[in-house]
Structure formats: structure tokens, C-alpha cells
Structure 1
Amino acid sequence: MVQIEGDPDSPISRGRLCPKGSASEQLVNSPGRQTKVLYRAPRSTEWQHLDLATAVEMVADRFIETRRRTWQQEDDQGRLLRRTMGIASLGGATLDNEENYLIKKLFTAAGAVQTENQARI
């Protein structure tokens, strides 16, 4: 058994954990945690295992193609937009601040304007 505790010297939390903090250990050590990439092809009813490199390539290819296809350089009046409305991000509450910061930077650099986080909704 692993015990997770907050820092009792913290002036903010005084050692107490939020539900996210106290449940974090289960995210890593749960016997039901998926540890292999699962993929279900369009209109398929079956899941198949993919190796991580193949899955990452598939995601990257689709991301780049969607950005290329939906890119808006300027509007009808010639004003610069430099954005894509075809890509969005919805982050999860189990991510930490550093992960959310990097995701926001990535999607902003790619031109996506719809970037949200579950923890804020």
C-alpha cells in the first residue's frame, strides 16, 4: 500500500490533498489500467492493439492533414487569421499544470483556438 500525503508546511494546503491528489496513485497502479494502445478503425466493431510508434504516426499524420486542410490564413476582408478551426483540445483534470501548459503551447503554435480543460468547465 502506498500512502500519499500533502506537505504540512504548505501555507496553501496545510497538508491536505484534493480528491485529485488523493486518487492519483490509483491512476498509475490500478489493475484495470490500460497499458497498450487500442485502436478501432472507422465503422469497425472490434478493437485491435497497435504498437506505440504506429499510433503516434497515425495521430501526427491526421493532425497535420487536418491543419493543412482547415487552415485559414485570412478572412474575407484580408485580415490575418493564421488559425485552424478543425483542431481542438480538451484536456483532462488528471493532468498537472506543467502538462496543461505544454498542451496549450502546442495547440496555440499549431493555430488551434479551441483549447479547453475539463477542470475549468
Structure 2
Amino acid sequence: MARFSPLEWPVFRQFSSPDRFGRGDSVVSRKTREIVPRTSSADRVVQSVCPYCAVGCGQKVFVKDERVVQIEGDPDSPISRGRLCPKGSASEQLVNSASRQTEILYRAPYAAEWQKLSLSTAIDMIAERFLEARKKWWQDHDEHGRPVRRTMGIAALGGATLDNEENYLIKKLFTAAGAIQIENQARI
């Protein structure tokens, strides 16, 4: 370890340089000068939208070696104008977390263990259950004989992390399937 010299004190550098008020280079340490931002080493920058709420703040995602290294607010976004809330600022941790689930897990009724499923198997299971519930609880007419053409076996709860277009499509899908219990987290 190098010996400390009083000549490296900021106050000495301040009075021995033109920076008399200590507002410039005289108060910057060598360690601070050597620091470089994570964004400077990025291979590319990708524009994205924050996944946390329905506001839709713009993000700049800095990628190096196909890995996200930093996420910042996008100053070109008309919604957030470069600002992010604390959750949006920490969304890099959402992407790079060691505990992030990347496989589809399924626990059968009364089973004690989870099993891994392929995406096609999981989608097929969901579709089969959706159609079965629709068919089982379908009502053509109510108790007064009026046509209702609905199912009481399917309900939908949309999330606020989806944007308006996604929620619109989900609403149309469930309405077309005959569901009438359709709600959204943003309204509750």
C-alpha cells in the first residue's frame, strides 16, 4: 500500500491550482477519476417499457454480451421523460436475479413435488381446462327463458402491468368466450 502524502489533500490541491473555491478538478480524487459508467461498456442500447405498472415509462436497456448491464429512464419517452420510479430503476434486478424462474413448473392436485413442463404442454393444459370450464358452465338461456349465451365457469382478472392494448385484447378474448366476470386490477 502506498504511503499517503499531504500533497494529495484536496485542500492543498485547491490552493495550489486555479480552482480556489474547490468546485472543480482540485477536489476530485484519483479513484473518482478512474470510475467509468456501466453504460459506456454496453454493446447496444434497446428501448423498452417498464414492466411494473400501467404507466408505461420508457426505458433504455444497456446490453453487453447479450446480458442486461443497466436500465435507465428514456429521455425520449413522452410519458416519463427520462424518469423512473424506484421499482423501474431496479428492474435490472428483475432480469438478472439468480432466483428468477425460467422454467414452467406444475404441481398436480395432491402432489407434493413440482414437475417441469414444456411450453406446448402447459398451453395445451390451459386450453383444455378453459374449454372444459366453458362447456360445463355454459348457459344459453336464463331462468326466464331470455337468451344470455354466457359461461359462469370462467373469470378474468387483468393486471396493471399490462398496457391498454393487451388488456383490450384480453377483454375481447374473454367476452368472445362468453365470460362475464371480467375485471382489472387497475380498477379495483
CA distance in 2, matches of 1:114, 1:20: 31
CA distance in 2, matches of 1:61, 1:119: 29
Equivalent residue runs for 1:1-80 within 5 Å: 1-7=69-75, 10=78, 13-18=80-85, 21-22=88-89, 24-80=91-147
1:89 to partner: Cα distance: 1.0
Aligned AA for 1:50? L
1:95 is matched with: 162
Aligned AA for 2:111? S
CA distance in 2, matches of 1:90, 1:47: 25
Q: Relative CO higher for 1 or 2, CA cutoff 8 Å, sep ≥ 6? A: 1
1:33 to partner: Cα distance: 1.9
CA distance in 2, matches of 1:111, 1:102: 14
CA distance in 1, matches of 2:93, 2:175: 31
Change (3 A) 1:23 1:116: farther
Structure 2 alignment gaps of length 5 or more: 1-68
CA distance in 1, matches of 2:73, 2:129: 41
| 1:107 equivalent among 140, 152, 174 | 174
1:2 to partner: Cα distance: 1.8
When normalised by structure 1's length, the TM-score is 0.83
Change (3 A) 1:109 1:52: same
Give the structure with higher Rg (CA).
Answer: 2
Alignment RMSD (CA, Å): 2.2
Aligned residue-pair number: 120
